[in-house]
């Protein structure tokens, strides 16, 4: 029996590894790295077929364009509401569920159900519910003699953010629930013996020890909030006026309705930079705030 | 007292979550007159199951369903085929550039879909793949998260099992297929479940990459149907119920895995 020499053996393993990796390398090259390169190069082009070199023209134009700046502001506000809501409501529900209650599993299932719905369902269903004339909410309020709501006109951004939270808060609740269950009971017991009340235990034990979960939830909520699309496309069509002109919706319209791929690509790159910057800042802040007990 | 408060809070929250979906079911069974009546109808006088048939008559809804099944099913199969194989390589093999490739892979997690949207559209247009199944499926064949999940799951499997199989003369692919893959079943179930549900619900790319009603998936077909027949809410609701039922059934059957799967995504 021949003894295999290690050098040929490791070379053989490397060959096997690359053989198994080949489809993945081709896939990520063709559908991730090539498109990223292309979005950057297209962002330097102008014209209806994006074939005239414009240098940084699209970027300077975008940064000076009131419509683009407005869409970034709207998107930032939307993401901010979604992040705050995800943390406050998600943590609140998780803490309520993290008690020895009957029917916990049933509550968890019900709270998580909207998370399974497509943004198409979220959008269409809530557009129907909130519709000023045909909506079930106003028809019910009118029948009860109560004042009717015009939320999609009076506070459209807050309303579509609330609808987004309706869908996503079950997900953040489950994340917080997992985080809460990872905090050893002994910390709470020790604090109780030392005379700390529930309020102090929440601020001094629960919240600091949940920091990694909170960080993860806020990073995920910012990333998904900044790229929301369906809510604007389905519920408000960006309106009233341009009050809910979310960035990706704006980019979609520039690309596929106005057919300006160069300008839309530049805006995509700008939004990506914003998202990456936010993520890095959050991770930094999160690391500084980390505690060990 | 405190318990009563907790129950009230959880009940109210649960109702807020579930009632809109039950209303969607009610709406799908109402007559057009009921959807427009001044006093909102809680539950229709006599459920109009015919609404579902009418929906199929007015829009190629059968095509939508087939398209959604082909696209979400195809992408899920691809994930189950590729993600564990790639995860296995990163978990158990040493080879040049391993860390570089792994970082390059994880970096794709930072790329939101909208960044790829325009270049993918241009690429698909060049290939003539707009409005085709391959155009809808190929951008999502694998993803870094699924690969990472499988790598984490495969790493604790003892190397000795692999060495023993090599000594017995098993081929490298047979080792993967016979020894590694069977042990990853729980992770594969979670991966398959999540991939299917997300792709079934996907909206933006099928909206961009289809041009005729016959190629649309349910979320897109339904939304554009609603734009065309925006007063026929009972039919839009019927379509929403059809879109929702498969994910709801999958969820109820697998809710334990599902919850564990979400918790897992938070632990990475």
pLDDT, tens digit, 9 for 90 and up, residues B13-68: 999 999 999 999 999 999 998 988 878 888 998 899 999 999 999 999 999 999 99
Size of interface A-B (CB pairs under 8 A): 245
Mean pLDDT over B107-128 rounds to 94
Q: Note the pLDDT tens digit of each residue in A259-271.
A: 999 999 999 999 9
Q: Confidence band (pLDDT; 50, 70, 90) for B265?
A: low
pLDDT of residue A3 exceeding 70, the answer is no
A229 interaction partners in chain B (CB closer than 8 Å): 114, 203-204
- Domain locations in chain A as residue ranges: 65-288
What are the pLDDT digits (tens) for A64-73? 999 999 999 9
User: Could you report the per-residue pLDDT of B170-226, keeping only the tens digit for each?
Assistant: 888 999 999 899 999 888 988 999 899 999 999 999 999 999 999 999 999 999 999
Give B 117-176 residues with CB within 8 A of chain A: 117-123, 138-139, 141-142, 147, 172, 176
The reported pLDDT for the residue numbered B252 is 84
DSSP assignment letter at B42: S
CA nearest B92: which of B142, B186, B161, B143?
B161
| pLDDT tens, position by position, A9-60 | 788 888 999 999 999 999 999 999 999 999 999 999 988 877 888 889 899 9
For chain A, the three-class secondary structure string (H helix, E strand, C coil) is: CCCCCHHHHHHHHHHHHHHHHHHHHHHHHHHHHHHHHHHHHHCCEECCCCCEECCCHHHHHHHHCHHHHHHHHHHHHHHHHHHHHHHHHHHHHHHHHCCCCCCHHHHHHHHHHHHHCCHHHHHHHHHHHHCCCCCHHHHHHHHCCCCCCCHHHHCHHHHHHHHHHHHHHHHHHHHHHHHHHCCCHHHHHHHHHCCCCHHHHHHHHHHHHCHHHHHHHHHHHHHHHHCCCHHHHHHHCCCCCCCCCCHHHHHHHHHHCCCCHHHHHHHHHHHHHHHHHHHHHHHHHHHHCCCCC
Q: Give the pLDDT confidence of A216-258 residue by residue, as tens digits.
A: 899 889 989 999 999 999 999 998 989 999 999 999 999 999 9
Q: What is the reported pLDDT for A148?
A: 85
Whether residue B17 and residue A117 make contact (CB cut-off 8 A), yes or no, is no
**8 Å CB contact of B82 and A23:** yes
Report A:160-219 residues touching B (Cβ under 8 A): 166, 170-171, 174-175, 177-179, 213, 216-217
Phi, psi of A45 (to 5 degrees): -110, 160
Q: Scanning every residue of chain A, which has its alpha carbon at the shortest distance from the alpha carbon of B33?
A: A134
Q: How confident is the model at residue B267 (pLDDT cuts 50, 70, 90)?
A: very low
Q: Do B38 and A142 touch (CB under 8 A)?
A: yes
Long-range contacts: A239-245, Cβ < 8 Å, 24+? A239/A156, A240/A152, A240/A153, A240/A156, A242/A67, A242/A70, A242/A71, A242/A74, A243/A74, A243/A156, A243/A157, A244/A74, A244/A78, A244/A156, A244/A157, A244/A160, A245/A67, A245/A70, A245/A71, A245/A74
* B195/A contact by beta carbon, under 8 A: no
Out of 1.10.10.10, 3.40.605.10, 1.10.3720.10, 3.40.50.10490, select the CATH number for domain A65-288: 1.10.3720.10
Averaged over B124-140, what is the pLDDT?
Answer: 96
CB atoms A251 and B139 under 8 Å = no
- Nearest-CA distance B224 → chain A (Å): 9
Q: What is the ipTM of this complex?
A: 0.90
Among A39, A143, A261, the residue with its CB nearest the CB of B115 is: A39
Whether B247 sits inside 8 A of A166 (CB atoms) is: no
How close does chain B come to A190, measured CA to CA in Å? 22
- How far off is chain B from A146, nearest CA to CA, in Å? 13
Q: What is the pLDDT of residue B190?
A: 87
How far apart are the C-alpha atoms of A116 and B63, rounded to whole Å?
Answer: 22
Q: Band the pLDDT of A1: cuts 50, 70, 90.
A: very low
Q: How far is B91 from chain A (nearest CA, A)?
A: 11
Please indicate if any CB of chain B lies within 8 Å of the CB of A72. no
pLDDT 10s digits, A136-169: 888 888 888 888 888 998 999 999 999 999 999 9
Mean pLDDT of A87-116: 91
Which chain A residue shows the shortest CA-CA distance from B41?
A: A136
Domains of chain B plus CATH, in order, are 1-48 (no CATH), 59-266 (1.10.3720.10)
Average pLDDT over residues A179-187: 86
Show residues of chain B in contact with A178, CB under 8 Å. Answer: 262-263, 266-267
């Amino acid at each position: 029996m021949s003894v295999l020499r290690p050098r040929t053996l490791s070379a053989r393993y490397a060959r096997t590894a690359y053989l198994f990796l080949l489809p993945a390398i081709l896939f990520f090259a063709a559908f991730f790295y090539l498109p990223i390169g292309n979005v950057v190069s297209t962002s330097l082009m102008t014209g209806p077929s994006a074939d005239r070199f414009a240098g940084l023209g699209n970027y300077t134009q975008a940064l000076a364009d009131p419509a683009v700046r407005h869409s970034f502001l709207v998107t930032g506000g939307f993401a901010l509401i979604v992040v705050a809501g995800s943390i406050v409501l998600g943590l609140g529900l998780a803490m309520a569920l993290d008690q020895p209650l009957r029917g916990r599993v049933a509550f968890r299932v019900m709270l998580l159900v909207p998370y399974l719905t497509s943004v198409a369902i979220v959008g269409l269903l809530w557009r129907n519910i909130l519709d000023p004339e045909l909506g079930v909410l106003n028809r019910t309020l009118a029948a009860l003699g109560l004042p009717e709501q015009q939320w999609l006109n009076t506070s459209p951004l807050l309303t579509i953010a609330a609808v987004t939270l309706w869908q996503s808060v079950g997900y953040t609740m489950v994340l917080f629930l997992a985080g809460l269950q990872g905090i050893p009971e002994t910390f709470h017991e020790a604090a109780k013996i030392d005379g700390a009340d529930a309020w102090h235990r929440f601020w001094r034990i629960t919240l600091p020890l949940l920091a990694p979960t909170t960080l993860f939830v806020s990073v995920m909520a910012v990333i998904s909030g900044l790229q929301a699309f369906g809510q604007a496309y389905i519920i408000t069509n960006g309106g009233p006026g341009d009050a809910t002109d979310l960035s990706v919706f704006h980019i979609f319209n520039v690309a596929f309705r106005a057919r300006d791929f160069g300008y839309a690509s530049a805006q995509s790159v700008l939004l990506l930079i914003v998202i990456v910057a936010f993520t890095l800042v959050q991770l930094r802040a999160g690391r500084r705030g980390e505690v060990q007990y | 007292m405190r318990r009563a408060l907790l129950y009230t809070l959880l009940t109210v929250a649960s109702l807020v979550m579930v009632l809109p979906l039950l209303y969607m079911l009610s709406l799908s069974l109402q007559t057009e007159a009921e959807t427009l009546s001044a006093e909102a109808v809680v539950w229709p006088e006599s459920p109009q199951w015919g609404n579902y048939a009418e929906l199929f008559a007015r829009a190629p809804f059968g095509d939508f369903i087939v398209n959604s099944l082909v696209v979400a099913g195809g992408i899920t199969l691809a994930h189950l085929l590729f993600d564990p194989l790639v995860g296995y390589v990163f978990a158990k093999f040493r080879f040049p550039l391993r860390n570089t490739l792994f970082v390059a892979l994880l970096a794709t997690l930072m790329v939101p879909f909208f960044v790829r949207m325009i270049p993918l559209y241009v690429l698909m247009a060049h290939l003539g793949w707009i409005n085709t199944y391959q155009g809808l499926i190929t951008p999502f064949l694998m993803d870094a998260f699924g690969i990472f999940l499988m790598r984490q799951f495969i790493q604790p499997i003892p190397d000795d099992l692999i060495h023993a199989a090599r000594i017995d003369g098993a081929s490298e692919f047979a080792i993967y297929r016979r020894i590694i893959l069977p042990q990853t079943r729980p992770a594969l179930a979670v991966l398959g479940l999540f991939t299917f549900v997300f792709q079934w619900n996907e909206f933006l790319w099928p909206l961009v990459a289809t041009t005729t009603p016959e190629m649309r998936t349910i979320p897109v077909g339904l939304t554009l149907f609603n734009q065309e027949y925006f007063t026929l809410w009972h039919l839009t609701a019927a379509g929403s119920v059809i879109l929702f039922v498969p994910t709801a059934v999958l969820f109820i059957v697998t809710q334990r895995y599902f919850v564990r799967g979400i918790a897992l995504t938070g632990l990475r």
